Structure 1
């Protein structure tokens, strides 16, 4: 029983660290685009969230998280810092999973997710300039 409890605490610690990393990345992105998250438009917030979902995939791969852990981390990211309700977060994550699994469902959103994977690598390498250009290019493309 002690091993199960220890594993649960380790999992909680991994997820808490990953959630904190995602929040820091979102803060850095908002700094790069010059707009606090609470001042973004709904379109910008959705783009940033899809980009963040790509970062979740990157963290999942790096830390060898299970699918349920990745799912929980994705939902948590959409609730905090993006301030979606629990139901909105669950629905949005389901949509993002569907898009990530099949490019044809929504090619643009699929591209944003994949750019988010690259964005997380840039963030982890502290290449904030490249990450900023990455997200700014996406935002410019969707706002045309």
Structure 2
């Protein structure tokens, strides 16, 4: 008997791996800033989520995901680990997509997303020093 893997199964595996990678990245961020996600302020959670959205962008290009898959991955990231409701996650993901494609819509958030692209690369390369500096600089700037 021969087992066949179809394209949907492969996509499910890729998306599950990407979702796990995003959760690991968020967990690493929380370790580096010394604050569990549930103890962050709403502003900090939004910043970390936007940074994570940059990682979604990096994963999308690396794994050659289609737009609906990237959108689903973004929503999933906002629901778990960030614990936004489904509607909040959909609305926030739509805002992040708009901001990522139009710098003028929200220049600060656009910059955070792009720093998240760099952060994802730092994370995957185990550049903990650069990764920590990247997210800490952003959080320091938005807290001021």
Verify same fold: TM over 0.5: yes
What stretches of structure 2 of length at least 5 have no aligned partner?
none
The number of equivalent residue pairs is 142
Post-superposition, which runs of at least 4 consecutive aligned residues in structure 1 deviate over 4 A? none
Spell out the pairing of 1:112-131 with structure 2 (5 A cutoff).
Answer: 112-131=112-131
1:45 paired to 2:45: yes
CA-based RMSD of the aligned residues comes to 1.2
1:142 Cα deviation after fit? 0.4
Q: TM-score, normalised by structure 1?
A: 0.96
Q: Aligned equivalents of 1:7 and 1:58: distance in 2?
A: 21
1:139 paired to 2:136: no
Partner of 2:82: 82
3-state secondary structure, aligned to 1:81:
coil
Q: TM-score, normalised by structure 2?
A: 0.96
What stretches of structure 1 of length at least 5 have no aligned partner?
none
1:129 Cα deviation after fit? 1.5
Cα displacement string for residues 57-104 of structure 1 (whole angstroms, at most 9, x for unaligned residues): 000010100000000000000000000000000000000000001000
